[in-house]
Chains A and B, each alone.
Chain A
Amino acid sequence: DTEVTQTPKHLVMGMTNKKSLKCEQHMGHRAMYWYKQKAKKPPELMFVYSYEKLSINESVPSRFSPECPNSSLLNLHLHALQPEDSALYLCASSLGRGRNSHEQYFGPGTRLTVT
């Protein structure tokens, strides 16, 4: 099974709402990632978890709050977002983050619209 699943597929939220994005993998991968992708742009790294610990935060605003409850799950909690946060949010996982530089498997993404 080389699948990363993400829910929901689409999300529309107001600027005062609180919502969460969910990501799951059952490949035994120990590194998980959140990326943000705007239309016709490359994915931009937001957060990296390694062995369930946050190892990289790319200076993401605090209105985005990641959580890794266990080795298979990754959440992204959203609060008080701005319209410019509308984008495709991609989750990815890889075997590890070491210098073996493992390939990343991406989920289908959550298309978020902030109104």
Chain B
Amino acid sequence: QQPVQSPQAVILREGEDAVINCSSSKALYSVHWYRQKHGEAPVFLMILLKGGEQKGHEKISASFNEKKQQSSLYLTASQLSYSGTYFCGTDRDYKLSFGAGTTVTVRA
């Protein structure tokens, strides 16, 4: 079942912060975050595992509330390079289901 992402889109100025949320109605083992720029492949950002372990980029931060089946990705001091569509992927039954995506536009 597809996780629910919000917001659908966000426009930022360089240096501003944003939060992208991802929630699931089912229990999760882990949450993945990917970013896809227009015309390119999705690129791995972070995995948050049940139990609190995280794997990913040092400059990207995220949280995972296992009890609520929710994850949030924090874009801090945004840069132009942060623009793209962010997908969360929830791991259940050994496969990823991606949310609909959040389009982030960072303007100078």
Contact = CB atoms under 8 A, between A and B. Distances in A.
B43 A104 contact: no
A106 B91 contact: no
Interface residues of A toward B: which range?
Answer: 20 to 34
A56 B55 CA distance: 25
A101 interface: yes
A107 interface: yes
Interface in A67-115: 90, 97-99, 101-109
Interface of B: 2, 29-30, 32, 34, 40-44, 47, 49, 55-56, 87, 91, 94-101
Nearest to B28: A101
B29 A45 contact: no
Interface of chain B, main secondary structure: strand
Contact of B98 (A43, A56, A58, A103): A43
Given A42-B98, A99-B29, 10 more contacts: A42-B2, A43-B98, A45-B95, A48-B95, A90-B41, A102-B47, A103-B44, A103-B47, A104-B32, A108-B40
Contacts, number: 53
A41 to B, nearest CB: 7
Interface of chain A, main secondary structure: loop
Given A107-B41, A108-B41, A41 B47 contact: no
Given A43-B98, A45-B96, A99-B29, A104 B44 contact: yes
A57 to B, nearest CB: 11
Contact of A41 (B34, B97, B100): B100
Contacts of B41: 4, 90, 106-109
Contacts of B98: 42-44
Contacts of B94: 48, 55-56, 97-98
A1 B100 CA distance: 30
